Amino acid sequence: MFARVLEFHVKREKKTDFIQVHKARILPVLRREIGFLEILPLIPVNMEEGKVLILTLWANQTDAENYDKEIFPLIADLLKPMLTAPIALKEYHLESSLCEQLVEALI
């Protein structure tokens, strides 16, 4: 399994819009992508800092990379007006032996 961790610096007044766009427009796109498993949005308790993390889980690195090349640039453009800084991306291999219940639930 493969994970993409995206860091967004969301304008405080755009938090609701940011969540709504993910729910209405981005999540349906993700669900159609080959290899997409789940999204985990982490919204700070104190939105003053504005940093939102979104973790997406993928079946494998190739599927995530295909999404990153083909679809993600369009998503980034959609979100850009809501952000105060460029989107930061980090990629990880998920050590599934440490989260077996999660893996079973997703697969």
Lowest-confidence pick of 20-24, 35-39, 84-88, 95-99: 95-99
- Rounded to an integer, the average pLDDT of 85-106 is 85
What pLDDT is attached to residue 29? 96
What pLDDT is attached to residue 44? 86
What percent of the chain shows pLDDT beyond 70? 95
Instruction: Encode pLDDT of 37-72 as tens digits.
Output: 999 999 888 777 789 999 999 999 999 999 999 999
Classified as helix, coil or strand, 10 is strand
- Select from 103, 93, 96, 88 the least CA-distant residue to 38: 103
Q: What's the rounded Cα separation, in Å, for the pair 98 and 50?
A: 30
Q: What's the token pair of residue 89?
A: 């991306």
**Cα 80 to chain centroid, rounded:** 14
Domain containing residue 38 = 2-106
What pLDDT is attached to residue 81? 96
Total domains in the chain come to 1
What percent of the chain shows pLDDT beyond 90? 75
Strands of the sheet with 36-42, listed across from one edge:
36-42, 51-58, 2-9, 88-93
pLDDT at 102 over 80: no
The full length of the chain comes to 107
CATH number for 71? 3.30.70.100
